[in-house]
Amino acid sequence: MWAVAGTRAGREPFELRPGVVVDPARPALYLMRSQGGVEAVEPSTGESLWTSAEAAKPLLLDGDVLIAQAESSGDGRQLRIVGLRARDGERVLDARIALPEGIRASVDGGLGMSFLATARVRGGEVIVAWRFTERPVRGMFEPGNEGGRESSGVVRIEPGTGRVQPATAEDAAAPPDADLPDSIRAMVKSGELRGALWRTNGVVASVGSEPGGRVVLRRWDRHSGRILPEVNLSEGGQLAVRTVSADSRHLLASALAEAGPSSVPQYRWVVFSLETGERLGEVRREEPGAAFCVIGSRLVYESPRSSRTVDGREIEAPITLRAVDLATGAPVWSRPVRDTAHRGPYPPGDQTGLNDAWKSGGA
């Protein structure tokens, strides 16, 4: 048996993007390697802590064990879930989940096929839910002839033995959010407070745009509902609300920067604390926004797959995890991440309608 999640003081692990799990307390990042396997990375320096070919896709960090999906083998009729010791990548759990006929537990998406596994911990056991979807992909979209099938399942895995037992959808459901203070719940019900709310430490926060281009952070005490001072985030320049970090602790707001020598657009990314409204730093990037988190002085974000033409040649860049220094904006490290989406080939003909829904698919 390993250490139980939630026993360490400080922030809890979270998923930055599918296949990338962050432990801010250690600190470490666990990610899918582009060439296969899993790698643990120190987020401040980008140093590789360990690599393992035992797993393919990190799903969850439970205490001192990384729960991950392994590569399928043979006909893929088994979903293999492994546990790797967080400090060194040593395998401490190996569980095999039998799947129905015709279903393959692939980490990568296929043409018209998707397999997705998720994990959470409940009652000291690992709850794994999976869903398989298959759709016919044709050269021409045929309304009313979509066909296809879906299948799903949920199991419980005993950490000490790897024993697999049936579970229910209720076991896999996310725990309910903590109750809001009465005053905030009343504002949501009346429509006075609209949009998303985020809970971070002792604060409930909401961000919205107001006339004149102001971006305002509103905050309340998470327990009493007491109103905290508003913060104007757009002082020093107009910004657009973009993204809240994967752990709901920070806000990334951006604006198109003044044109530079390059023909590629540049954006100002300004990062704020959702708890205090403090401006943590500003960097220049080519994307208007991204999935991100802040670990210490590092802004870690996902750079999507892209292509551009340079001197008449098309240059493709893979999905990449990047870290920059928030104080200087200087790049610190980068890691390509495995792209699980199906990228072709596709049937000839009109690639619209049903087929478009599967071009960006994958697990």
| pLDDT tops 80 at residue 115 | yes
Number of C-beta neighbours around residue 329 at 10 A: 14
Reply yes or no on domain 14-172 having CATH 3.40.50.720: no
Could you tell me the sign of the dihedral formed by the alpha carbons of 361, 177, 206, 21, in that order? negative
pTM (two decimals): 0.85
CA distance 80 to 167: 17
Tens of pLDDT, residues 137-196: 765 656 655 668 899 999 999 988 899 999 998 888 887 766 788 899 898 889 888 888
Q: Based on C-alpha coordinates, what's the Rg of the chain? A: 22
Q: What share of the chain is helix, strand, coil (3-state, %, to 5)?
A: 5, 45, 50
Percent of the chain past pLDDT 70, that is, above it, reads 84
- The domain spans of the chain are 14-172
Q: Are 267 and 241 in contact (CB under 8 A)?
A: no
Helices (H), 254-360: 356-359
Residues facing 208 on adjacent strands:
216
Whether residue 3 is predicted with pLDDT greater than 50 in this model: the reply is no
Residue 346 has pLDDT above 70, yes or no: no
* Nearest Cα to Cα of residue 215 among 264, 158, 272: 272
Of residues 322, 363, 299, the one with CA closest to residue 110: 363
- pLDDT band at residue 42 under the 50/70/90 scheme: very high
Query: Which helix (DSSP H) or strand (DSSP E) does residue 170 occupy?
Result: helix 169-172
In the structure, what pLDDT confidence band is assigned to residue 355 with cuts at 50, 70 and 90? very low
CA atoms within 13 A on the CB side of 240: 9
Q: What is the pLDDT of residues 26-40, one digit of tens each?
A: 999 999 999 999 999
CB-CB contact of 233 with 277 (8 Å): yes
Integer CA distances (angstroms), 176 to 173, 179, 180, 228, 249, in order: 9, 9, 12, 25, 19
Identify the residue whose tokens are 């033995």: 161
Tokens coding 245: 């970090």
Residues 6+ apart with CB under 8 A from 22: 13, 14, 15, 16, 28, 29, 30, 43, 246, 247, 293, 295, 300
Tell me: pLDDT of 350 over 70: no
User: Per residue in 202-255, pLDDT tens?
Assistant: 899 998 877 776 788 999 999 899 999 999 888 766 788 778 999 999 999 988
Are the C-beta atoms of residues 128 and 120 closer than 8 Å to each other?
no
Q: How many other CB atoms are there within 10 angstroms of residue 226's CB atom?
A: 11
Helix (H) or strand (E) holding 186: helix 182-190
Residue 295 has pLDDT above 90, yes or no: yes
